[in-house]
Structure 1
Amino acid sequence: MDQRDSAGPKLEFESALTHFVERAEEMVNSQARMRDLIRINNELTSNLDLTNVLRRIVEIGKELLNARYAAMGVIGDERRLEQFIHVGMEPEVYEQIDHLPEGKGLLGALIDDPQPVRLETIASDARSSGFPAFHPPMESFLGVPIRVREEVYGNLYLTDSLNGAFSSDDEELAEALAATAGIAIENARLFDDSSYRARWSSALAQITSRLLTDDEGDHLQVIVDEVRGLADADLVSVALVSEGGGEIVVDHASGVGAEELVGRSFSLADSFAGDALSDGEPRLVDEQKRFESHGFTDEALLGNSMVIPFGPSDNRVGILAVTRTSGRLPFSGRDLDLGVSFASHIRLALDRAESQRARRRVALLEDRGRIARDLHDHVIQRLFATGLSMQGTAAIVSDEAAGQIAAQIDELDAAIAQIRQSIFAMRRDPESTSVSLRARILEIVDRVSGQMANKPRVTFSGPVDLMASGTLTDDIAAVVTEALANVVRHAHATKAEIAVIAASGQVSIEVTDNGVGPGDSPRLSGLDNLRARAENQGGTFAIHQASGGGTRLAWSVPT
C-alpha cells in the first residue's frame, strides 16, 4: 500500500478527533458557565438589598466573563447616569481621575440605543470619546442593557477581556446575566419600597399618636428630626411665611448648618419656595439648579431637594425643605409622596404649639391677676391708711416734724403710683397687640431693659390714655424710644426714670438718667426729630442737666 494512502485517513481522523475535543471543551465550558449562571441566579434573586445586588452584579460580571474591569451605569432622569458602580480599578487610580463617566460617548450610545455592543478595540468605534487623564487604558469592550420589566434600568459594561477579546458566547452570557440582574433588581426594589413605606408609616403613626396625646414638648422639632432620618437627608427645615407675605423665615431645622439657618429669612420672589406656595404643589429640585438666584443660600438647599408646601388649601403657611448634600442621589417620587404625608402633620404641630403658648399665657395672666388683686386690695389700702394717719399726725406736731412727715407722705404717694403701674403691667398680656399709650410705652421699656443694668422706672399721672390719642400717641412713643436709645448709647447711665403726665390740657414726658449729663454742647443730632414733633403739636422740647447729675429730657404738648 502506498504510504501516502495510509497517511490520508490518519490525518482525517486526527482532524476529526481534534474537532471533537474542541467541541467537548466548548461543551464543558458552556456547562460550567451554565452552572455558574444558575448559581449566580440563585445568589442574586435571594439578595434583597438593592445596594448589595448592584455591587454583586458588577463583581459577578467581571468574574464570569473573565474581564479586567466591570461597571454598571444606573440611568436616572433626563437619561443621565445617576450611579456608576465599578470594580477592578485600583483606589489610588480612581482618586486621580477627575470625574466618573457621565453617560456620554460610547456609554451614552448604549443609553440612547439599548442594544448589546461588542468591540475588539474601543478606540476603533467612532462613538468613543476617549478617556480622562490618569484613566487606565482599555481595549476590548462589551456592553449590554439591563431591563426591569419594560424599563431600561441601566447598562452592564465589561472591558479588557483576559482572553484577548470578547466572543459571541460572552455576549450571550452577558445578556443572560443582564436578564437575571433585571429580575434581581426588580425584587430588591419591591422589597426596598415595601420596607421603606413601612418605616414611614410606622413613624407617621407614632407622630400622630404623640400629637394627639402629648401636650408638652416641641412636636415640630420631633417631626423635622424624624423626616431627616427617614429620608436619609442631610438637612431638613421648616420655614413659615412672614406676616407681610413676602418672605419665609426658617422656624425649625435639623442637620447640616441647622443652628445657623434657624431664624434666617429668604425672599419668596422668583424662588422655588414661592412657586410651591403659589400653586400648592410639592416639587423635586435638581442640584444643577442655581439656588442662590432663587432666594436660597447653600445652607437652605444644598443639593437635590424636596420642597413641600403645607397649610390649609386656601392659605399655604410654609414649606418643608428636605435636602441632600451635593453629589448624593436625588430624591424620587416615592420620597416626595411620603414627605407630603409628614408635611400635613406640621400644621397640626404648629396648632398644638400655639395652643400650648395660649395655655401658658392664660396661666401667667391668671397668676398675675391674683397678685394684682392682692396688691390693690391689701397693700395699696394699707398704704392709703398709713398716709391718712400720718397726715393726721402732721397736724398736731411741730412745723419741722410736719415737714418731714409730709415728705414721707409724698414718698408713699409715689410708691402707690408705682404699685398701680406694676398692677397695670401685670394685667397686660405681653403677647397681645395693644394700641393704648400705657401699653406701648411699657413695650418700649421692655425692649430696652435688657441693655441696661436696671430696668427703667415708669410712672403715669392723670388720664394718659384718654388725653393722648391718634398721632399724639405715635409722637409720645417716638419720644420715649429716642430718649431711651440716647440713654443706652450715650449717657452710660445705670438708672433711668420716665414720667408721663396728663394734666391741665397738656401731656408731658420727662426722662431722667444718672449718666454723664448733656455737657456744654448737648448732642441733639439724634433728637432733632423730637423737637420737630413738639413744634408740630405746638409744644416744647428741652434737655437740661439733672439736679443730681445726668440728663433730664422734657417734652410737652397741648391736647
Structure 2
Amino acid sequence: MTDPVPRLPPLLEAVLSVGTDLELRVTLQHIVDSAAELTGARYAALGVADPGLDGLVEICTAGPSDGGTAVADDSADDSLGVPIRVDDQEFGTLHLSDKEGGPFTAEDEQLLQLLATQAGIAIGNARLYETARQRERWIEGAAAVTTALLTGEAAADALMTVAERARVLADAAAGVILQATSEGGMEIVTASTLDDPGDIVGTTIEPGSPVLEQLLGGEPVFIEDSATDPRMTTPVRSRFGPSMMLPLQADGRLIGTLALPRRRGDRPYTSVERLLATQFASQAALALVLADAQHSRERLAVYEDRDRIARDLHDLVVQRLFATGMMLESTQRRGTGGEGDDVHDTLGHAVDELQSTIQEVRTAIFALQQPPADAPTTLRGKVLRETAGAAAVLGFQPSVHFTGPVENRVTEPVAGHLLAALRRKLAAASRRPGVSRIEVTVDATATLRDGRPGLRLTVYDDGAREDGEGPGTTVTWQSPL
C-alpha cells in the first residue's frame, strides 16, 4: 500500500527540529537545513528583511559539503522562494535553488509554506527568549555597576567601571565616556577597549560638530557606521562601525555620554539592545550621582571631625602651652646670678621648647584642615605633603615651622622651586646615618644679602656630618620674592 503523503514523516521531523532550540541563529539554521532536505534542493538561503532588527547581517545558507554558497534567484525555473512572517510582519524569505532530479513542484511549495509557518512561530519564540536573556544580562550588569559605585570608588575608577561593564554587555569594541569641555566641545575621558586605549583617551569633539548639540542636550544618538556618518568628526571614527551614544543623565544633570562603538562590519545594534543600553545608561548615571553624593557626605563628615579636633587643639592645648610659656618667661626674668644663671638657662630652654611645641600644634591644626582625598593647593599643604612622604622613609615625622605670610607672598614659580629643593634636602638627610630628627623651616620674612625680601628654606637634621665635626647638618635654600 502506497503512503498517500510520502513526505509527511520528514515534514513532521522538520517541524519538530526547528523548534527544538531557542537560540535564534541555531533556529534559522535548522529552518534552512530542513527546507533543503525536504525539497531536495542543493542550496537553501534565508534572506532577512530587516538585518538590524535581530542583529543578523548575514544570510544563513545550507548546501554542498564543499562549502559552496548559493545565489538564489526566484525568477529562475529551478528556484523557489517562500516568505516567512513573524507576528504578521515579514521576517525574510526562504530561497531554494538547484533541486536534484528536476524542477520544484507545487507539492514542494506547499511543504515549504507549512515549514515557513512553523518557522515563524519558532522564530517568535526564539526572539522572546533572546530578549529575556539580554534583559537579564543588562539588569544584572546595571546592578553590579551600582554596587561597585556605592562601595566608594574614586571618580575616575567609577567612570571606568561603567565603561567596562557596558562594553562587555553590548559586545562592543570599546566603551568610552565623553564629558563636556570648557571650550564647548566634548572629550573622551575614559576608555575601555580590548586593545590599548591610549590613542582614544583625550580625543575631542570640537565645537560645531553636527552631533555635539544632540549629545550636550542629553539626547541618544545611534550610528549605523561611524566611519562614514557625516555627523562623526573624531579621528578615531574610521576604525568603528555601528555605535550607540547614550546620555549619562540624572536629576537634570548631564554627567557625560556613554559611547559603545562596534568594529566596522560588525552586526548593527538591534532595537532591543538600544533600549536596554539606554536604560543601563540612565541607571548608571543615577548610581554615579548617588556615589558622588555619598562621597561628599563622607568627606563632610571627615571635615567636621577634623574641624572639631583642630578646635580642641587650639582651645585647650595651645592656650595652656601659651599660658605656661608666659609663666616661665616671668620666672626667667626674676632669676639672678649663681645658680640663678643655671635656672635662667634652663627656663630659657623650656620657653624655646614650648614655643616650638606651639608651632608644631599649629602645623598639626593646619594639616587637619586639608582635604583628606584631594591634593593640597596651598604652599603650606604642599610642604606638609612632602614631609609626610619623607616620614614613610624616615620612620618619623619631620617638624615643620612657617614664618610670615607664606601664602600671600610666595608666587607659584617660587613655590615650585622651593618644593623641589625641599625634596632634594629631605632625600639627602634620609641618607645620613643616625638621623632621628629633622626640622624644616619656611621663612617668608627673610632678607637676602643684597637687601631684597626673600624666601628661605632651612632643613636641619641631627645625623652624623660627613666632615666628622659633630652631629647635625643645616642646609638652606633661598630665593627673592
For normalisation by structure 1, the TM-score amounts to 0.62
1:420-444 deviations in Å (ceiling 9; x for gaps): 122022124457899xxxx621344
The counterpart of 2:180, out of the listed 228, 238, 241, is 241
Report the residue type matching 1:267 in the other structure.
T
Q: Summarize the alignment of residues 502-521 of structure 1 with structure 2, pairs less than 5 Å apart.
A: 508-512=454-458
- Kindly indicate whether the alpha-carbon contact (under 8 Å) linking 1:284 and 1:305 is maintained by their aligned counterparts in 2: yes
Q: Name structure 1 gaps, 5 residues minimum.
A: 1-23, 111-115, 121-140, 516-546
Greater Rg over alpha carbons, structure:
1
Residues 172 and 89 of structure 1, relative CA distance in 2, 3 Å threshold:
closer
**Is residue 9 of structure 2 the alignment partner of residue 32 of structure 1?**
no
Residues 427 and 507 of structure 1, relative CA distance in 2, 3 Å threshold:
farther
Cα distance in 2 between the residues matched to 1:231 and 1:419 = 56
Please state whether the residue corresponding to 2:7 is helix, strand or coil.
helix
Matched residue, 1:74? 48
Residues 450 and 414 of structure 1, relative CA distance in 2, 3 Å threshold:
closer
Matched residue, 1:55? 29
Residues 273 and 476 of structure 1, relative CA distance in 2, 3 Å threshold:
same
Please state whether the residue corresponding to 1:308 is helix, strand or coil.
strand
Matched residue, 2:380? 442
- Kindly indicate whether the alpha-carbon contact (under 8 Å) linking 1:240 and 1:249 is maintained by their aligned counterparts in 2: yes
1:89-111 deviations in Å (ceiling 9; x for gaps): 55xx66xx9xx89xxxx56xx6x
Please state whether the residue corresponding to 2:269 is helix, strand or coil.
coil
Cα distance, 1:333 vs structure 2 = 2.1
* Aligned-residue RMSD, C-alpha: 5.0
Matched residue, 1:541? none
Cα distance, 1:488 vs structure 2 = 4.5
- Kindly indicate whether the alpha-carbon contact (under 8 Å) linking 2:33 and 2:44 is maintained by their aligned counterparts in 1: yes
Residues 201 and 404 of structure 1, relative CA distance in 2, 3 Å threshold:
closer
Residues 254 and 398 of structure 1, relative CA distance in 2, 3 Å threshold:
same
The counterpart of 1:339, out of the listed 251, 271, 277, is 277
1:507-558 deviations in Å (ceiling 9; x for gaps): 742234589xxxxxxxxxxxxxxxxxxxxxxxxxxxxxxx9464411324xx
- Kindly indicate whether the alpha-carbon contact (under 8 Å) linking 1:287 and 1:305 is maintained by their aligned counterparts in 2: yes
Cα distance in 1 between the residues matched to 2:425 and 2:100 = 85
Cα distance, 1:448 vs structure 2 = 5.4
Q: Summarize the alignment of residues 293-308 of structure 1 with structure 2, pairs less than 5 Å apart.
A: 294-295=233-234, 297=236, 303-308=241-246
The counterpart of 2:415, out of the listed 477, 480, 494, is 480
Cα distance, 1:480 vs structure 2 = 0.9
For normalisation by structure 2, the TM-score amounts to 0.70
Cα distance, 1:355 vs structure 2 = 1.8
**Is residue 297 of structure 2 the alignment partner of residue 359 of structure 1?**
yes
- Kindly indicate whether the alpha-carbon contact (under 8 Å) linking 2:421 and 2:477 is maintained by their aligned counterparts in 1: no
Matched residue, 2:464? none
1:460-507 deviations in Å (ceiling 9; x for gaps): 334666xx3xxx5xx523311233235547996457945143599x97
The counterpart of 1:499, out of the listed 431, 437, 442, is 442
Cα distance in 1 between the residues matched to 2:387 and 2:200 = 23
Residues 308 and 375 of structure 1, relative CA distance in 2, 3 Å threshold:
same
The counterpart of 1:85, out of the listed 44, 57, 60, is 60
- Kindly indicate whether the alpha-carbon contact (under 8 Å) linking 2:47 and 2:94 is maintained by their aligned counterparts in 1: yes
Report the residue type matching 1:418 in the other structure.
E
Cα distance, 1:331 vs structure 2 = 1.1
1:320-345 deviations in Å (ceiling 9; x for gaps): 23344555432112221222222222
Cα distance in 2 between the residues matched to 1:326 and 1:177 = 38
Please state whether the residue corresponding to 2:254 is helix, strand or coil.
coil
Cα distance, 1:56 vs structure 2 = 0.4
Report the residue type matching 1:318 in the other structure.
G
- Kindly indicate whether the alpha-carbon contact (under 8 Å) linking 2:458 and 2:474 is maintained by their aligned counterparts in 1: no
Cα distance, 1:302 vs structure 2 = 5.6
Cα distance, 1:310 vs structure 2 = 2.6
1:222-259 deviations in Å (ceiling 9; x for gaps): 766765565455654544435665443545x767459x
Report the residue type matching 1:118 in the other structure.
A
**Is residue 470 of structure 2 the alignment partner of residue 555 of structure 1?**
no
Q: Name structure 2 gaps, 5 residues minimum.
A: 431-438, 462-471
Cα distance, 1:199 vs structure 2 = 2.9
The counterpart of 2:317, out of the listed 361, 369, 379, is 379
Cα distance, 1:419 vs structure 2 = 1.8
Cα distance in 1 between the residues matched to 2:57 and 2:116 = 21
Question: Which structure has the higher relative contact order (CA within 8 Å, separation 6+)?
Answer: 2
Q: Summarize the alignment of residues 148-547 of structure 1 with structure 2, pairs less than 5 Å apart.
A: 148=86, 152-158=90-96, 160-163=98-101, 165-169=102-106, 172-173=109-110, 175-176=112-113, 179-180=116-117, 183-184=120-121, 186-188=123-125, 191-192=128-129, 195-196=132-133, 199=136, 203=140, 216=151, 227=166, 231-233=170-172, 235-242=174-181, 246-250=185-189, 256=194, 264-269=201-206, 274=212, 276-287=214-225, 289=227, 294-295=233-234, 297=236, 303-311=241-249, 316-324=254-262, 327-388=265-326, 390-391=328-329, 392-393=331-332, 395-396=335-336, 397=339, 399=341, 402-403=344-345, 405-407=347-349, 409-429=351-371, 440-445=378-383, 458-462=400-404, 468=408, 476-485=411-420, 487-488=422-423, 493-494=428-429, 497=440, 499-501=442-444, 508-512=454-458
- Kindly indicate whether the alpha-carbon contact (under 8 Å) linking 2:222 and 2:245 is maintained by their aligned counterparts in 1: yes
- Kindly indicate whether the alpha-carbon contact (under 8 Å) linking 2:425 and 2:459 is maintained by their aligned counterparts in 1: no
- Kindly indicate whether the alpha-carbon contact (under 8 Å) linking 2:244 and 2:274 is maintained by their aligned counterparts in 1: yes
- Kindly indicate whether the alpha-carbon contact (under 8 Å) linking 1:390 and 1:409 is maintained by their aligned counterparts in 2: yes
- Kindly indicate whether the alpha-carbon contact (under 8 Å) linking 1:69 and 1:158 is maintained by their aligned counterparts in 2: yes
Percentage of identical aligned residues: 27
Cα distance in 2 between the residues matched to 1:69 and 1:425 = 79
Deviates more, 1:267-276 or 1:215-224: 215-224
Cα distance, 1:351 vs structure 2 = 2.1
Cα distance in 1 between the residues matched to 2:62 and 2:315 = 86
